[in-house]
Amino acid sequence: MAGLKPALHDQMKIQFRPFVAVLALLSSAVGAGDRRIQVLPAVPPGVEQRFVPAPFEAQTIDGVLGDRMAVNLNERLLAGVDLDVILKGYRQRPGQHAWIGEHVGKFIDAATNTWAYTGDARLKTKLDAAVKELIATQLEDGYLGTYTPQERFIDYGEKGYEPAENLPLWDVWAHKYNLLGLLNYYRRTGYEPALQASRRIGDLLCKTYGDAPGQKDVVRNDWHVGMANTSVLEPMAMLYRYTGDRKYLEFCRYIVRAWDEPKGPKIATTLIASGHVNEVANAKAYEMTSNLVGLLELHLATGDGAYLRPVLRAWSDIVQNRLYPTGTTSWGELFRADHLLRADGRVGEGCVTTTWMQLNLRLLELTGEAKYADEIERTIYNALAGAQHPKTGLVCYFTPLNGAKPYGVVDQGVPGVNCCTSSIPRALSLIPSAAWGVRNGGVAMNLFVPGTVTLSIPAGGVTLVSTTRFPVDGDVTLELKLAQAARFPLAIRVPQWCRKSEVTVGGKTSSDATSGYITIDRIWQDKDRVTIRMDLAPTMITGAPTYPDAVAVERGPQLLVADEKLNPGSSPWTTDLWLTGLASTSLTLRDASASLPAKWIGKQAYGVPGYFGNAALGKRSVELILVPLADAGQLGGEYRTWLQRP
C-alpha cells in the first residue's frame, strides 16, 4: 500500500481538475473495479485546502490504532453487519422501523473507506453486493427509501403533530446516508451507476422540496425542528462538486434559507447571534453537528465565508463549554447547559462522536490548524476507541465516564443494529484521514502512529517510515526514503497535552513551534532520520464544576480510569459507597502492565497511590490500577474516571 505510484497522488498537489484523466482506470462493472483510485470532483474547490490527507491506499497504520481498525474490519464490517437485515426494508417496503433506511448507506460509506485503506478483497465483495442491491431497489422516480407510497415525504400541513416513533419522518434522512455512501463509493471506484443513482436522488429531492409553488417545506415534518431533514446539505453539496450541476448547489442554498423559516431551526443565525449550540432549535447534537459538517462542505464548494463563520462559533462553544475530556459531547443526545458534563449513563452518543470527528477533520483540511488535529486525537484515543470493544468490535450507544460500557446493547427494534453501531465504524474508517498528509507545500505528521506513508511532495515522492510505541511512550523515529535529494518542510504537530516536544535531525534539536507545529525546512537526503521526543508526564484535571471534589488522570492524549476488574477489593462499586483518592497533588505513575490478566486486550496499566473506603468502613490505602478508558470495561466491570480528591 505504501508503494502507490506518484501518478495517483495528483490530488496531493492541491491542484484540482476535472476527473477525465482518471477515467481510463475505471471499470463500469461492480466488482471489476478492484483498483483503488480517487475520482476528483468536477468542480474545483472554492477555497484552498490547507491540509490534504494522504491517500488511504498510500499508507499503513500499525500499533494501537491499527489494531482498532483491524477489529472494525474483521469483527464489525465483515462479521457483524448482516446485509439481509439492513437491506430488508428496501427489498420489501416498508422497513421494520421508521429509520431503518440509514444503515446500508452508513455501511457502504464505512466499508468504502476501509477497503480504500486495506484493499481487502472479502470486504470489496460484500461492499459491491450492498451497492448493487441498494441501487436495484431504487424506484424510477429516484426514490431510495423504505416507506410505502402513501408515506413518502409525507406533509402534515399546518395541523401540527407530536412526533411519535411510528411517524414516517426519516425519508430525507435515509436518502442522505444513501447519497453519502454511494458518492463515496463512486469517488473510490469510479462506478458510474453509483453516481447515476445519486443524481436520481438529488433530482427527486430538488423536485420535492423548495420554496417554489407546489413544493414541500423541508423543515416542517421532522423530529428535530428540521435539523434531520436539512442535514442532507452535506451530500447535496458533494453531489454538486462531483457533477457540476448547479441545481444541486441551489438546493443547498435553499436549505440554508429554510433554516430561517418560521418553523425552521435557525442554525446559522442563532450561532452567529449567541454562539451557543444549546440554544439552537431543540439542541439535538447529532443532527446539529451533521448540519455543521454540511456547512463546511458548502463552504468548500463555494468559498463563501458566511458558511464557515457559524461553524467556528459552534466549535468554540463546544470546546469551551460542552466537551468531555474523552473528546465527545452531549448528554442524553442533547447539548446541555455550560459545563454541565454528567459522567453517568448517556454520555456522548456514538453518532455525535462520529460527527464531531468529521467536523474537526474538515476544519483541519480547510485551515491546517493544529488545534483541530488535537481534538481529533483526543476523540480517537478516548471516545471513539472507548465505544468499540477491543476484541468483538461491538459498539456502545453511549460511553459513560463512570459506569459500565453497554457494548452491543441495542434499543431500536432491530437485532444488532442501532444508529451508533452504524456510525462508529464510519469514524474508525476515517482515522487515515488524520494521520499525515500535505500542509503548506510540505509533509505534515498529525498522529504519532507506527507505519508508513508515501506522498508525491516533493517531485519524485517521499516515503516516511514511522517507528514508535506511542502512546506507551513519547518517542518516534521517522526515516525518509527519497529517490533523490529534495527540499521541503516537514511539520510535526506539537500536541496540546505535551509540556515539552523536541525534534532532532542531523544532530540539531528544535523545540520551536509555530501554529502548533515544529517545522524543519531543509534539503532532505535518502535515509535521513528524524527523532521526536514528547513528554508524556501525567496530569490531573478537575471535575469542577459538575464534580468539584473529583479529579481525573490524563497521560498524553489518553484518559486513565480505574476498572473494578483490575482493582479487587473495591466493591461495592457505587458512587455513594466507593471512594478513591490520590495521595497528593503530585502524580507519579508506576508501570503496572505486568499485572494485567492474560485475557486483557491492551498493554497499558499504571499504578498510583490511593485508597478504598467509605464513611462506615473507613479507608484502606492501596495502589490503584489505572488503564486507558479505551480499554476499560472490556471484562464487563464498571470503571471510574472521576476519582475522589483526598
pLDDT in tens, 313-337: 999 999 999 999 999 999 999 999 9
Q: Which three cell numbers stand for residue 216?
A: 414541500
170, 95 Cβ separation under 8 angstroms: no
Q: Report the pLDDT value the prediction gives residue 202, as an integer from 0 to 100.
A: 98
The three-class DSSP label of residue 579 is strand
Q: Report the pLDDT value the prediction gives residue 481, as an integer from 0 to 100.
A: 98
- The C-alpha atoms of residue 620 and residue 568 are separated, in whole angstroms, by 13
Q: Report the pLDDT value the prediction gives residue 585, as an integer from 0 to 100.
A: 53
- The residue type found at 258 is A
- Give the domain ranges of the chain: 62-153+169-205, 209-302, 323-430, 438-534, 539-644
Mark 353-364 as b/e (b = at least 16 C-beta within 10 Å): bbbbbbbbbbbb
Q: Report the pLDDT value the prediction gives residue 10, as an integer from 0 to 100.
A: 35
Which band of pLDDT confidence, cut at 50, 70 and 90, is reported for residue 86? Answer: very high
In sequence order, the 6+-apart residues with CB closer than 8 A to the CB of 291 are 227, 230, 231, 233, 265, 267
Sign of the four-CA dihedral 89, 95, 99, 100: negative
Render pLDDT for 535-580 as a digit per residue (tens, 0 to 9).
999 999 999 999 998 889 999 999 999 998 998 765 544 433 344 4
Q: CA triplet 43, 305, 356: central angle to 5 degrees?
A: 85
CATH of domain 438-534: 2.60.420
Q: Report the pLDDT value the prediction gives residue 617, as an integer from 0 to 100.
A: 61
Render pLDDT for 373-393 as a digit per residue (tens, 0 to 9).
999 999 999 999 999 999 999
- The C-alpha atoms of residue 293 and residue 426 are separated, in whole angstroms, by 14
Q: Which three cell numbers stand for residue 482?
A: 527519497
- Residue 632, number of CB atoms within 10 A of its CB: 27
Render pLDDT for 432-480 as a digit per residue (tens, 0 to 9).
999 999 999 999 999 999 999 999 998 889 999 999 999 999 999 999 9
Output phi, psi for 51, to 5 deg: -135, 125
User: Where is average pLDDT lowest: 30-39, 209-218, 392-401, 623-632?
Assistant: 30-39
Report whether pLDDT(350) > 50. Answer: yes
| Between residues 413 and 386, the one the model is more confident about | 386
Q: Report the pLDDT value the prediction gives residue 127, as an integer from 0 to 100.
A: 98
Render pLDDT for 73-82 as a digit per residue (tens, 0 to 9).
999 999 999 9
Q: CA triplet 396, 401, 402: central angle to 5 degrees?
A: 105
Which band of pLDDT confidence, cut at 50, 70 and 90, is reported for residue 611? Answer: confident
Render pLDDT for 238-279 as a digit per residue (tens, 0 to 9).
999 999 999 999 999 999 999 999 989 999 999 999 999 999
Q: Report the pLDDT value the prediction gives residue 641, as an integer from 0 to 100.
A: 93
Which band of pLDDT confidence, cut at 50, 70 and 90, is reported for residue 498? Answer: very high
Q: What is the pTM of this model?
A: 0.93
- The C-alpha atoms of residue 169 and residue 255 are separated, in whole angstroms, by 17
49, 365 Cβ separation under 8 angstroms: yes
Q: Report the pLDDT value the prediction gives residue 513, as an integer from 0 to 100.
A: 93
Average predicted confidence (pLDDT) for the chain = 90
Render pLDDT for 19-71 as a digit per residue (tens, 0 to 9).
322 332 333 345 446 788 999 999 999 999 999 999 999 999 999 999 999 99
Average pLDDT over residues 595-624: 83
317, 274 Cβ separation under 8 angstroms: no
Render pLDDT for 125-183 as a digit per residue (tens, 0 to 9).
999 999 999 999 999 999 999 999 999 998 776 445 555 556 778 999 999 999 999 99
Q: Report the pLDDT value the prediction gives residue 42, as an integer from 0 to 100.
A: 97
User: Where is average pLDDT lowest: 14-18, 206-210, 421-425, 590-594?
Assistant: 14-18
Which band of pLDDT confidence, cut at 50, 70 and 90, is reported for residue 85? Answer: very high
